[in-house]
């Protein structure tokens, strides 16, 4: 008899948890719908609702999120209020999946696993298929990034070192090299850009002090290996702390360097695309319909973008940037014509 009673209690608990899961995701239900869905009578449905109301009140007392079970006379439904701002909607989750697909950071296998876990934790089972249908075709044609996959444990280890202001040691393999070299640096921040995670760090010498000849360096996470956190602590003054947002606004394609004042004329079709690419830019419409764009940017990564705009831009300043832009343009014009049929071609 005790076993039968325990089984009934487990069944009751399971139904109440299932009901709570439905309502916590913002779905209103009538008392009749509850009774039909969970095969209970109206009195039992009332008890379930009372238990949920009591739980929400107790959770609030324990500094939990403020939620209330509310009844709508208009459609005779019960719903947990104020959940819309605390949970991801279907449209938001769809957008997140599209961003993950477009970022091309993970392998297809890892990306599929990650999106499935997001679906299972964020929306109800009957709504998962709708989102899966939207993304499965794109996932089918998804090609793995050439760098493999980012090491999330290593990323988290770097993040912890940033929090503690601890120096890390690691081997770093530069582009064109097959072997890593030892490095020691104080990580200041982590930035994601153009398919990769980057660690912005302050290089340290063997004397356990920052290298006075270098400001900061940018390391691609997937080229870092054997990352270890040391006990060396170095506190950066508050007014010199690294700010990821400012760095991304001022840096193009992760080419760091000194700040320079850039100015160019833009005659292309989408000024909005320019402002999105260069968030710190200021624009002034000229009499001839062109736009004067000025911005303070780090390094010379902006050169790559300017070259991609063809004749839609005219670089004005600084003079060194203009000269490099013109030099690259001349080199493009001087490229010889090559017979494609005579070249080795892979499959």
8 Å CB contact between 186 and 235: no
Query: Average per-residue pLDDT in the chain?
Result: 86
pLDDT digits (tens, 9 = 90+) for 80-98: 876 545 567 778 888 888 8
Beta pairing class for 217-220 and 259-266: unpaired
Determine the Cα–Cα distance for residues 61 and 51; give it in Å rounded to an integer: 16
Please tell me the pTM assigned to this model: 0.69
Hey, what are 320's tokens? Answer: 């060194």
Phi, psi of 329 (to 5 degrees): -65, -40
Give yes or no for residue 2 having a pLDDT over 70.
Answer: no
pLDDT of residue 4: 45
Sequence-ordered strand ranges (E) for the chain: 29-30, 69-72, 77-80, 166-172, 181-193, 196-203, 217-220, 224-233, 259-266, 282-285, 291-298, 313-317
Cα distances (Å, whole numbers) of residue 286 to 187, 311, 314: 43, 17, 14
pLDDT tens across 233-292, in order?
A: 988 887 778 888 888 888 888 887 788 999 999 999 999 999 999 999 999 999 999 999
The encoded tokens of residue 14 equal 């399971």
Distance (Å, whole) CA 196 – CA 293: 28
pLDDT at site 126: 67
Q: What is the DSSP letter of 251?
A: B
Given a cut of 90, whether residue 159 has pLDDT beyond it is yes
CB 221 within 8 A of CB 150: yes
Q: Alpha-carbon distance 116 to 71, whole Å?
A: 33
2-80 placed in CATH 1.20.120 = no
Please report, for the chain, the start and end positions of each structural domain, with discontinuous segments joined by +.
2-80, 90-140, 152-242, 250-333
Instruction: With beta carbons less than 8 A apart as the criterion, state whether 204 and 132 touch.
Output: no
State the fold for domain 250-333: Alpha-Beta Plaits (3.30.70)
- Residue-wise pLDDT tens digits, 302-318: 999 999 999 999 999 99
Q: In sequence order, what DSSP letters do the residues of 190-221 get, joined into one string?
A: EEEETTEEEEEEEEB-TTSSB-TT-S-EEEEG
Distance between CA 254 and CA 54 in Å, rounded?
52
């Amino acid at each position: 008899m005790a076993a039968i009673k325990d089984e009934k209690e487990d069944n009751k608990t399971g139904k109440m948890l299932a009901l709570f899961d439905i309502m916590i995701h913002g779905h209103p239900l009538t008392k009749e719908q509850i009774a039909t869905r969970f095969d209970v009578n109206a009195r039992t449905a009332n008890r379930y609702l009372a238990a949920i109301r009591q739980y929400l009140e107790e959770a609030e007392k324990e500094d939990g999120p403020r939620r209330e079970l509310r009844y709508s006379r208009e459609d005779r439904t019960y719903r947990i209020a104020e959940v819309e701002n605390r949970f991801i909607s279907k449209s938001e989750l769809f957008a997140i999946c599209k961003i993950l697909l477009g970022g091309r950071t993970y392998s297809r296998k890892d990306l599929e696993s990650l999106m499935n876990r997001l679906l299972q934790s964020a929306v109800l089972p009957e709504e998962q298929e709708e989102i899966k249908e939207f993304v499965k075709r794109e996932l089918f044609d998804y090609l793995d990034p050439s760098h493999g996959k980012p090491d999330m444990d290593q990323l988290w280890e770097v993040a912890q070192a940033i929090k503690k202001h601890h120096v890390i040691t690691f081997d770093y393999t530069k582009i064109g090299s097959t072997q890593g070299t030892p490095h020691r640096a104080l990580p200041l921040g982590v930035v994601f850009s153009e398919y990769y995670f980057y660690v912005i760090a302050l290089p340290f010498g063997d004397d356990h002090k920052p290298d006075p000849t270098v400001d900061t360096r940018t390391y691609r996470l997937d080229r870092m290996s054997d990352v270890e956190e040391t006990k060396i602590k170095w506190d950066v003054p508050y007014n010199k702390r690294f700010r990821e947002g400012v760095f991304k606004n001022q840096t193009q394609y992760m080419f760091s360097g000194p700040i320079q004042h850039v100015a160019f004329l833009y005659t292309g079709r989408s000024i909005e695309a320019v402002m999105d690419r260069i968030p710190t830019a200021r624009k002034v419409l000229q009499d001839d319909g062109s736009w004067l764009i000025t911005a303070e940017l780090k390094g010379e990564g902006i050169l790559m973008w300017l070259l991609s705009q063809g004749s839609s831009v005219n670089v004005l300043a600084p003079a060194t940037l203009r000269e490099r832009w013109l030099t690259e343009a001349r080199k493009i014009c001087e490229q010889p014509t090559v017979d494609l049929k005579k070249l080795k071609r892979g499959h």
